[in-house]
Amino acid sequence: MEPLTDIKNPRLIYLKGLLFLFSGCLAAGLLLFFSPSLKVAVLLAISVWCFSRFYYFAFYVIEHYVDGNYRFAGLFSFFGYVIRQRFGWKRPPTDDSPPE
């Protein structure tokens, strides 16, 4: 059995993106269906916008404006990075990491 690796097929990558879009629209639609009010719709829109901005901050802003050595590999990677920065822990060097 082959080990799982990153998705390389562009069609599968697009399918994955469309599934995320569909799932998000379905969840938002169901929330509005079960609680149809302007207040819920506005709070849902603000929540989606804020989470999107946080994701952008985690992968783009930190890498390009705060720490050029940081490479985003997911939100767990980002939270690990924040904890390491907070407590001054150093990540063990890898083969592709630049020398300090």
pLDDT tens for 4-52 read: 777 888 999 899 999 999 999 999 999 999 999 999 999 999 999 999 9
Amino acid present at 65? Y
Cα 23–chain centre separation: 16
* pTM of structure: 0.66
Decide if 72 contacts 64 (C-beta within 8 A).
no
DSSP symbol at 35: S
In the structure encoding, which two tokens stand for residue 33, read together? 């269906």
